Amino acid sequence: MFGVLMITLLLTISLVGSNMDTILKQGIIYQVRAEITENTSIVQGFNDPEEFEKFVQQKIDERIKTLGLDTPWYSPQRLGYTMYKILILDFGNATFLISDSGSSNVGEIIFEKMPKTILLFTTATIIISIIGIVLGAASSNKIGSKIDRMTSTFAVISSSFPVWWVGMLMIFVFAFVYQIFPARATPNIASDDPGYFLALLYHMTLPVITIVLIGFGAWAYLVRNFMVGIMQEDFITAKKTMGISKKKIVYSHALRNAAPPIVTILALSLSGSLGGAIITEAVFDWPGMGRLYFEAISVMDLPVIIGSTYILTVLFLVSIFIADLLYGYFDPRVRTSN
Amino acid sequence: MSSVSTNEIKREFLKSKMGLTGVFILLGLVLVSIITISTIPVSTFQEWNNPEKWILYPKTSVPSWVNLLSSEKIPEHKIIDAEIFESNKDEIFLVSQQFGVSFEYDDFPSDFIFVTKTKYSDSHLVQIKVIRPDGIILEILSTSLPHSEIDTIHNQRYFSTDSMIKKNLNAYKDKFQFDFSIGATEIIFSDLNENQVQKGNYIFIMDTYGIGEPAQVLESKMILGGKTFGLMGTDELRRDLAVGLLWGTPLALFIGISVSIGSVVVGLVYGVYSGYKGKKTDEAMMRFNDVIYALPALPFLIILAVTISNSIFLMIGFLMIFSWVGIAKVSRSMSLQIKTRQYVEAAKIMGQKDSKIIFRHIIPQLLPYAFASIAISVPAAITTEAGLSFLGLGDPSFPTWGQILHDANTYGATAQGFWWWIVPPGILIAITGLAFVFIGNALDVIVNPKLKR
């Protein structure tokens, strides 16, 4: 897993590395020139502009060398150093973007946005999974019934609509035609206001509804399929012959046995939705990681891009890991003999 | 894994309602693509981003079929071609360009423009008049083409907002029973008694008089400005959305199908080879597979699009990188089963080459599964591409559906209520996705005995 993380990092750095160097070098040139021209005594010491230019160039070269920018970004020391710094979560300073509190430290920016993304998507995923499990169990209870067919149809249809497009429609209908919810999901009040959290929740309603609307059909369908598989196992038949009511079998015995795959997929879909957050958050203007990422891309703020990609990958890997652990915990068959 | 014969699949598929619906939708889309490619000239789509091309079209106008649904008829934006008559009397040549329009709407047109291109020499007089449905003739403009000694080609536009037109109309002031402090279009199309639209046939006539030689009309159009246009309306940049949506169809099919075929083929061969070889090769190949699987796809696609290129062909390649992984996993486990079968082992003992065994004996067994996965993975490719385009990272020279939605979002279509700009692209994306999901699911049920219940 660690290896995967390193490879991701390496890929990201190699994709943006050369751009980053050019930007850094330009920054240094600008900085050095500003420093020298501000100091009038140095400027006055030169009579010949050519000589002055030479001096400035020399200073720039010196600065580049001390920062180690004279070697290309793919040289082992620099690569190792960059990766080490990222590993200890030191992403440096952002080029353009700043956090709400005014800091330009990439780590601070990311950790300020992350809770909001987690809040939005965790809420949505929890609602989706509750609706999905109830609907899925209900439809597996009566295969071929009206509710079963409706769930399946809805699952297929809803999964082919892009979430962000439905988001646009929802904004159009509920924010402009019927003015129930705000169009922008970022609250207008300052983040240290006591009413901020409530405002955030109110602004969160529309995105949550959209994500749930698109997501729960597929979930219900998935749960239904797991349940159908389990309902055909021998122990269920045994329970049936014992005279336990079908409702009880479905909701307590079968559902418990369907738990391992369901929990695994829950963990995976949660982390998967983080990646999809980029477009969804851009549509709703939700102040989370996804929008940060989108903003960073549009102004080419490389430290932020590298940092967010890294964090996203870490989150993704951690959730795969947790999903694996949970699977083993819930399903005794997976446990190894030692 | 039970092998299913091709005939069986065909028979089963024809029984599946879902699969057939999918095939019908897909056929419809293919038909639309073919019609688009053959009827709409390629130049239109190349000039999608050229504002010059769309200058005569109205800005953000609703589709004209809206009039069928509402009782109030909104004036349609019309581009009328001229009928040209020439006559000659005592050395005076008259070229008469006539524009007939039947105006049956409840609101005035916003304006009208005459766009002409003439080839002439010497001096020519231009007179524009309109014959109204009630028989009244209004002479609205008389002017001349600039004098020229030699043959010249002259482009001229006459706008309804021209102050001369208003001045000329003042001559008819006593015929109308209302205040004249309104625009020229509101007077020309108005009823005599009160300022309301007079419905009926209007004929606009533009006469060009020349002595000795008639002026040659190269191009002549009258644009009657309105609020509705075409099948799908227009966007903020005056582009005809119907053209963009139609061109989006073959593009979406192309992107979706090529990505899914590419990734399924790669995944299949990779997985089968890995499973067939086994041991260390298998281990190494599967670890590599895990690495790709663990990469967050969308952030990486965005970085790739930004740093390398957003050309549509490279984008297809990038999408493939992230979509073959799952297929490789499944086909590996399938090939693990198949390779223990006796005929494969027999082939091995007979000394056949590995490549031959893989391509001759194992992969054909997996083909039904491969087709199902191709169909199932098309929608994801289309929505991902649309998503990237929506973020503004798509290829701007191709009017894909995602691109149209991106433009809609940038110009605030949701806030201004331009529903015709938002709804159709999304529905088309969904319909295309649905067609493939239907086909894929129907195939999956047939080739995957586990799902047969």
pLDDT in tens, B370-395: 888 888 888 888 888 888 888 888 88
Per-residue model confidence (pLDDT) at position A5: 65
The single residue listed with the structure tokens 């895990």 is B290
Which residues of B fall within a CB distance of 8 Å from A309? Answer: 296, 299-300, 303
The single residue listed with the structure tokens 């019927």 is A178
The rounded percent of chain B whose pLDDT value lies above 70 is 97
What is the helix (H) or strand (E) element at residue B390, kind and residue range? helix B363-390
Report yes or no: B378 and B261 within 8 Å, Cβ to Cβ: no
Cα-based angle A210, A272, A143 (whole degrees, multiple of 5): 65
List of long-range contacts for A227-233, beta carbons under 8 Å, 24+ apart: A227/A136, A227/A137, A227/A140, A227/A254, A227/A255, A227/A258, A228/A140, A228/A143, A228/B453, A230/A254, A230/A257, A230/A258, A231/A140, A233/A257
Least confident piece of the model among B1-5, B114-118, B139-143, B167-171: B1-5
CB < 8 Å from B in window 169-198 of A: 169, 171-172, 175-177, 183
Phi, psi values for residue B229, rounded to 5°: -155, 135
A19 to chain B, minimum CA–CA distance in Å?
8
The single residue listed with the structure tokens 């601070």 is A108
Per-residue model confidence (pLDDT) at position B59: 78
Per-residue model confidence (pLDDT) at position A3: 66
pLDDT tens string B127-181: 888 888 888 888 888 888 888 888 888 888 888 888 888 888 888 888 888 877 7
Return the sign of the alpha-carbon dihedral for residues A172, A178, A184, A186. Answer: negative
- C-alpha of A237 from chain center: 43
B414 touches chain A (CB under 8 A): yes
Q: Any residues with CB less than 8 A from the CB of A245 and at least 6 apart, and which? A: none
The single residue listed with the structure tokens 């919810």 is A181
Helices B6-15 and B419-447 cross at an angle (nearest 10°) of 130
Give the number of other Cβ atoms within 10 Å of residue B86's Cβ. Answer: 13
A336 has pLDDT over 70:
no
Q: B291, A7: Cβ pair inside 8 Å? A: yes
Helices A255-284 and A302-330 cross at an angle (nearest 10°) of 170
Report yes or no: A42 and A36 within 8 Å, Cβ to Cβ: yes
The average confidence (pLDDT) of chain B is: 83
Rounded mean pLDDT, B202-211: 87
**Of A30 and B112, which is predicted with more confidence?**
B112
A16 touches chain B (CB under 8 A): yes
Residue among B283, B292, B300, B378 with most chain A CBs within 10 A, to mutate: B300
Per-residue model confidence (pLDDT) at position B2: 47
pLDDT bracket for residue B452 (50, 70, 90): very low
Q: A278, B409: Cβ pair inside 8 Å? A: no
Per-residue model confidence (pLDDT) at position A73: 63
Per-residue model confidence (pLDDT) at position B1: 43
Report yes or no: A100 and A191 within 8 Å, Cβ to Cβ: yes
Which residues of B fall within a CB distance of 8 Å from A276? Answer: 298
Q: Greatest CA separation found in chain A?
A: 105
Nearest in space to B138 (alpha carbons), one of B184, B103, B178: B184
B262 has pLDDT over 90:
yes
Q: How many CA atoms lie within 13 A of B320 on its CB side?
A: 19
Buried/exposed code over B135-154 (b: 16+ C-beta within 10 A; e: otherwise): eeebebbeeebeeeeeeeee
| CA B164/CA A284 separation, integer angstroms | 50
Rounded mean pLDDT, B76-82: 84
pLDDT bracket for residue B259 (50, 70, 90): very high
Per-residue model confidence (pLDDT) at position A230: 79
**Of A20 and B364, which is predicted with more confidence?**
B364
Which residues of A fall within a CB distance of 8 Å from B438? Answer: 156
Under DSSP, is residue B200 helix (H, G, I), strand (E, B) or coil? strand
Rounded mean pLDDT, B306-334: 85
User: By 3-state DSSP, what share of chain A in percent is helix, strand and coil, each rounded to 5?
Assistant: 80, 0, 20
Q: A313, B419: Cβ pair inside 8 Å? A: no
Query: Residue A79 to residues A9, A58, B89, B138: CA-CA distances in angstroms?
Result: 10, 26, 89, 80
Q: B426, A293: Cβ pair inside 8 Å? A: no
pLDDT tens string A196-220: 777 778 888 888 888 888 888 888 8
| CA B418/CA B422 separation, integer angstroms | 7
pLDDT tens string A2-15: 666 677 667 766 66
Rounded mean pLDDT, B196-214: 84
| CA A158/CA A137 separation, integer angstroms | 19
Structure tokens at A134: 């109830």
pLDDT bracket for residue A42 (50, 70, 90): low
Q: The pTM is what? A: 0.79
User: What stretches of chain A adopt beta strand conformation (E)?
Assistant: none
Nearest in space to A119 (alpha carbons), one of A50, A44, A200: A200
* Nearest CB neighbour to B299, from listed A225, A309, A317: A309
A322 touches chain B (CB under 8 A): no
A338 has pLDDT over 50:
no
Per-residue model confidence (pLDDT) at position B448: 66
Return the sign of the alpha-carbon dihedral for residues A10, A282, A157, B259. Answer: negative
* Nearest CB neighbour to A165, from listed B304, B426, B437: B426
Query: Residue B433 to residues A322, B158, B376, B440, B452: CA-CA distances in angstroms?
Result: 32, 48, 9, 10, 23
CB < 8 Å from A in window 299-338 of B: 299-300, 302-304, 306-308
pLDDT tens string A92-130: 666 666 666 667 777 888 888 888 888 888 888 888 888
Which residues of B fall within a CB distance of 8 Å from A305? Answer: 303
Q: Is B353 left (phi over 0), alpha (psi -120 to 50) or beta?
A: beta
The 3-class SS string of A189-255 reads CCCCCCCHHHHHHHHHHHHHHHHHHHHHHHHHHHHHHHHHHHHCCHHHHHHHHHCCCHHHHHHHHHH
pLDDT bracket for residue B227 (50, 70, 90): confident
| CA B443/CA B362 separation, integer angstroms | 20
Nearest in space to A106 (alpha carbons), one of A114, A24, A319: A114
pLDDT bracket for residue B260 (50, 70, 90): very high
Under DSSP, is residue A332 helix (H, G, I), strand (E, B) or coil? helix
B408 touches chain A (CB under 8 A): yes
pLDDT tens string B387-433: 888 888 888 778 889 888 888 888 888 878 888 888 899 999 989 98
Per-residue model confidence (pLDDT) at position B50: 79
B258 has pLDDT over 90:
yes
The average confidence (pLDDT) of chain A is: 76
ipTM: 0.76
Phi, psi values for residue B126, rounded to 5°: -120, 130
Cα distance from N-terminal residue to C-terminal residue, chain B: 16
A275 has pLDDT over 70:
no
Query: Residue A12 to residues A82, A234, A305, B353, B387: CA-CA distances in angstroms?
Result: 12, 50, 9, 40, 21
DSSP secondary structure letters along B303-320: HHHHHT---HHHHHHHHH
Per-residue model confidence (pLDDT) at position A161: 84
Report yes or no: A316 and A271 within 8 Å, Cβ to Cβ: yes
Per-residue model confidence (pLDDT) at position B264: 92
Residue A233 identity (one-letter amino acid):
E
Per-residue model confidence (pLDDT) at position B265: 92
What is the helix (H) or strand (E) element at residue B254, kind and residue range? helix B241-277
Nearest in space to A317 (alpha carbons), one of B431, B293, B97: B293
